[in-house]
């Protein structure tokens, strides 16, 4: 018996952990199992042909909001070409309301609900022995035309008994991709908008198992590991042991400066001991994604979210101040009891923290979530197709929601790109709140059609320059800051035409003398000690500034003119910006 496990990932850099878990758990007891990974951007006909050429007996699809529509089309066509093939579907997009899933996708024969290892193996063993009656009695398996098996299944045995998904097959595909890993399953919280609340508690892999899996990954020199744990710091003692394990293992492979580990965390749960440990880690080793979602107490209560906002904000500030950890903070628009003004307040308070990335997300009424059951209560109108994003509710109109969509786009292009740090800080002084700026800037972009087409990073500088000149005076200073931002993030040297440039007589000769002085190299570019001028000039750039504000990046007094030396040999691993130094030529 031959079974294909199919993953349709959102993009090539992603991988699908679930299908490798399933194959590892089945072992050799379920016949021949082959994994095929595609992306939703691949040609559907090519995927269809590839699958059918394998002539499988069973085809299992991993179903999520980003791929279910493509999966449905593939299943329909597969059944036309191979009507006798058995189609199995699993994943969060089909685990709930299975009767409706069967009606809308008549080609599906079985649905795995919940965690799939045990029911999937039992199902394949029943199919292999041609025991259809046994297949219909498996817990966690829903059968077309039957009511049995519609139970959201959890693995009830020790998680360490599940074989590692990081087999040779997986490791062979991990190069240049984001690697996903888990140390726990489930979530201790019950937020109404999240599917993890349906899993009922938390189960842990042992740290010995985590170490074993991590060593397999680091042997392949992966660059990033994203942990899918819902709240890795729910238990601070375990979190510290895990963090120390990661650091020690990275050092073991001499990768502490080459890899980063990404976690989702609850900011209010950190204790002083865990924060003190984080502060000792190398720059960029850890990335933290922390959800605030809203600061409205009525909203927090309604979504069943427990959070000490004051403690959360204090811990986020402390982590950012460490300067060694990239901090990603989330907000969700469209939550209950939060109108436009309330969201504006949430935005301004979170923006003031200055996280490295501020995600303005929109509520998705996912299948199986409590909030989807409260649609009438809160007057939700949402897209009836994936990702089921909210359009409006009784607190916020569609027009307000879409205005936030425009703000989200400019926030992504300008703030979250990390390319406009100095210029954004400067322009904020003209506005009462950050939200007021983004609201006006988003409208400026919308009216000129910039939000309806792709915009290059260089064009973003031109748009920002034009916006400033149209609204404010003193462009010379702002132009300097745009130039600083550009050169600190782009080493191409092709400064956008909207940015004012200056030249000094004999400038090239001054730069030459500076880089040929060993004392200057020792002070500003010690990593180039002993290198020739020709080697150093490939990784550096001098630029003239005349109007840089006195408080910018260490300037203690406003010079009539200054020279800044940009060092392109390495980026800051937290901000992704290049280092630079004010020098005296």
* 3-state secondary structure labels for all residues of 418-440: CCCHHHHHHHHHHCCCHHHHHHH
pLDDT of 551 over the 50 cut: no
Q: What is the mean pLDDT of the chain?
A: 92
pLDDT of 265 over the 90 cut: yes
- Predicted confidence at residue 157, as pLDDT, reads 62
Both 64 and 118 in a single domain? Answer: yes
Q: What percent of the chain has pLDDT over 70?
A: 95
**Of 286 and 556, which is predicted with more confidence?**
286
- Predicted confidence at residue 155, as pLDDT, reads 56
Using CA of residue 408, residue 409, residue 410, residue 415, what is the dihedral sign?
Answer: positive
- Predicted confidence at residue 489, as pLDDT, reads 97
Using H for helix, E for strand and C for coil, what is the string for 252-264?
HCCCCCCCEEEEE
- Predicted confidence at residue 554, as pLDDT, reads 42
**Of 155 and 273, which is predicted with more confidence?**
273
- Predicted confidence at residue 197, as pLDDT, reads 66
Both 104 and 13 in a single domain? Answer: yes
pLDDT of 219 over the 80 cut: yes
- Rounded to an integer, the average pLDDT of 463-486 is 95
- Predicted confidence at residue 562, as pLDDT, reads 82
- Predicted confidence at residue 356, as pLDDT, reads 98
Query: 148 pLDDT band (50/70/90 cuts)?
Result: very low
Residue 87's H or E segment, with its range, is strand 86-90
- Residue 101 placed within a domain: yes
Please say which residue of 350, 365, 396 terminates a domain: 396
pLDDT of 552 over the 50 cut: no
- Residue 133 neighbours by CB under 8 Å, 6+ apart: none
- Rounded to an integer, the average pLDDT of 534-545 is 91
- For the chain, the domain total comes to 3
- Predicted confidence at residue 154, as pLDDT, reads 63
Both 188 and 331 in a single domain? Answer: yes
Both 115 and 243 in a single domain? Answer: no
- Contact, 64 vs 93, CB < 8 A? yes
- Residue 572 neighbours by CB under 8 Å, 6+ apart: 283, 284, 578, 579
- Predicted confidence at residue 21, as pLDDT, reads 95
- Rounded to an integer, the average pLDDT of 183-207 is 84
Please say which residue of 362, 396, 430 terminates a domain: 396
- Rounded to an integer, the average pLDDT of 46-64 is 96
- Rounded to an integer, the average pLDDT of 487-495 is 94
Find the domain containing 13 and state its range. 2-143
Buried b (16+ CB within 10 A) or exposed e, 553-585: eeeeeeeeebbbbbbbeebebbbebbebbbbeb
Between vectors from CA 274 to CA 268 and to CA 275, what angle results, nearest 5°? 70
> From CA 431, how far away is CA 417, in angstroms rounded?
21
- Predicted confidence at residue 556, as pLDDT, reads 38
- Contact, 260 vs 289, CB < 8 A? no
- Predicted confidence at residue 559, as pLDDT, reads 44
Residue 222 three-state SS: coil
Both 97 and 203 in a single domain? Answer: no
In whole angstroms, how far apart are CA 94 and each of 97, 108, 112, 514? 7, 10, 8, 65
- Contact, 92 vs 134, CB < 8 A? no
In whole angstroms, how far apart are CA 431 and each of 238, 409, 518, 548? 44, 20, 46, 21
- Predicted confidence at residue 558, as pLDDT, reads 44
Torsion angle, CA of 221/224/227/233, rounded to 10 degrees? 110
- Residue 381 placed within a domain: yes
Least confident of 190-194, 206-210, 347-351: 190-194
- Contact, 563 vs 513, CB < 8 A? no
Q: What are phi and psi of 206, to 5 degrees?
A: -70, 155
Give the pairing type, strands 286-293 and 86-90: unpaired
Give the pairing type, strands 179-181 and 562-571: unpaired
| Extended strands (E) in 380-427 | 381-382, 390-392
- Predicted confidence at residue 175, as pLDDT, reads 80
CATH number at residue 131: 3.40.50.2300
Least confident of 106-120, 190-204, 501-515, 565-579: 190-204
Both 243 and 391 in a single domain? Answer: yes
pLDDT of 108 over the 80 cut: yes
pLDDT of 182 over the 80 cut: yes
pLDDT of 147 over the 60 cut: no
- Residue 427 placed within a domain: no
pTM here is 0.93
Both 210 and 339 in a single domain? Answer: yes
Which tens digit of pLDDT belongs to each residue from 363-416? 999 998 999 999 999 999 999 999 999 999 999 999 999 999 999 999 999 999
- Predicted confidence at residue 199, as pLDDT, reads 64
- Predicted confidence at residue 549, as pLDDT, reads 59
Give the pairing type, strands 58-62 and 32-39: unpaired
Q: What percent of the chain has pLDDT over 90?
A: 78
Please say which residue of 94, 121, 143 terminates a domain: 143
Both 124 and 203 in a single domain? Answer: no
**CA 130 to chain CA centroid, nearest Å:** 43
Instruction: Identify the CA nearest to 265 among candidates 300, 299, 240.
Output: 240
- Predicted confidence at residue 31, as pLDDT, reads 93
pLDDT of 561 over the 90 cut: no
CATH number at residue 246: 3.80.30.20
Torsion angle, CA of 13/19/25/28, rounded to 10 degrees? -100
């Amino acid at each position: 018996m031959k079974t294909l496990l199919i993953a349709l990932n959102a993009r090539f850099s992603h991988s699908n952990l679930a299908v490798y878990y399933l194959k590892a758990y089945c072992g050799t007891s379920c016949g021949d199992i082959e994994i095929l990974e595609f992306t939703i951007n691949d040609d559907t006909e090519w995927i269809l042909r590839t699958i059918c050429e394998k002539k499988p007996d069973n085809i299992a699809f991993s179903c999520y909001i980003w791929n279910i529509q493509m999966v449905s089309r593939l299943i329909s066509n597969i059944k036309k070409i191979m009507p006798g093939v058995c189609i199995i579907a699993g994943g969060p997009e089909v685990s709930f309301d299975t009767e409706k899933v069967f009606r809308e996708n008549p080609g599906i024969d079985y649905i795995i609900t919940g965690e799939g290892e045990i029911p999937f193996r039992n199902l394949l063993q029943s199919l292999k022995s041609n025991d259809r009656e046994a297949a219909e009695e498996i817990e966690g398996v829903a059968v077309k035309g039957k009511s049995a098996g519609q139970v959201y299944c959890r693995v009830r045995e020790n998680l360490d008994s599940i074989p590692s998904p990081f087999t040779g097959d997986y490791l062979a595909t991990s190069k240049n991709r984001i690697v996903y890993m888990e140390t726990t399953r489930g979530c201790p919280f019950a937020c109404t908008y999240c599917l993890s609340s349906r899993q009922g508690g938390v189960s842990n892999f042992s740290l010995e198992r985590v170490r074993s899996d991590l060593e397999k990954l680091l042997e392949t020199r992966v660059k990033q590991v994203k942990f899918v744990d819902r709240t890795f710091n729910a238990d601070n003692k375990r979190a510290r042991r895990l963090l120390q394990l990661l650091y020690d293992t990275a050092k073991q492979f001499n990768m502490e400066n080459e890899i980063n580990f990404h976690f989702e965390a609850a900011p209010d749960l950190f204790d002083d001991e865990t924060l003190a440990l984080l502060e000792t880690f190398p720059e960029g080793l850890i990335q933290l994604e922390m959800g605030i979602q809203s600061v409205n107490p009525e909203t927090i209560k309604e979504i069943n979210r427990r959070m000490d906002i004051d403690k959360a904000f204090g811990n986020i500030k402390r982590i950012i101040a460490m300067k060694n950890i990239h901090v990603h903070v989330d907000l969700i628009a469209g939550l209950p009891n939060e109108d436009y003004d309330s969201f504006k307040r949430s935005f301004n308070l979170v923006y003031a923290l200055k996280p490295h990335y501020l995600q303005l997300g929109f509520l998705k009424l996912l299948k199986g979530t409590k909030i989807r059951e409260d649609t009438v209560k809160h007057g939700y109108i949402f897209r009836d197709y994936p990702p089921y994003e909210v359009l409006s509710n009784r607190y916020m109109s569609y027009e307000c929601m879409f205005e936030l969509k425009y703000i989200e786009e400019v926030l992504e292009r300008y703030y979250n790109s990390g390319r406009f740090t100095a210029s954004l800080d400067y322009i904020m002084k003209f506005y009462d709140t950050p939200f007021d700026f983004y609201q006006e800037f988003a409208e400026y972009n919308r009216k000129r059609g910039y939000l309806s087409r792709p915009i290059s990073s260089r064009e973003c500088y031109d748009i920002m320059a034009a916006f400033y000149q149209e609204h404010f005076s003193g462009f010379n200073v702002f132009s300097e800051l745009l130039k600083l931002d550009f050169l600190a993030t782009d080493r191409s040297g092709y400064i956008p035409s909207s940015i004012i440039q200056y030249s000094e007589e004999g400038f090239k000769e001054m730069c030459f003398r500076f880089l040929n002085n060993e004392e200057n190299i020792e002070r500003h570019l010690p990593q180039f000690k002993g290198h020739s001028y020709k080697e150093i000039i490939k990784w550096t750039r001098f630029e003239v500034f005349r109007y840089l504000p006195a408080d910018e990046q260490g300037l203690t007094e406003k010079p009539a003119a200054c020279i800044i030396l940009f060092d392109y040999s390495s980026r800051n691993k937290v901000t992704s910006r290049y280092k630079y130094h004010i020098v005296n030529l």
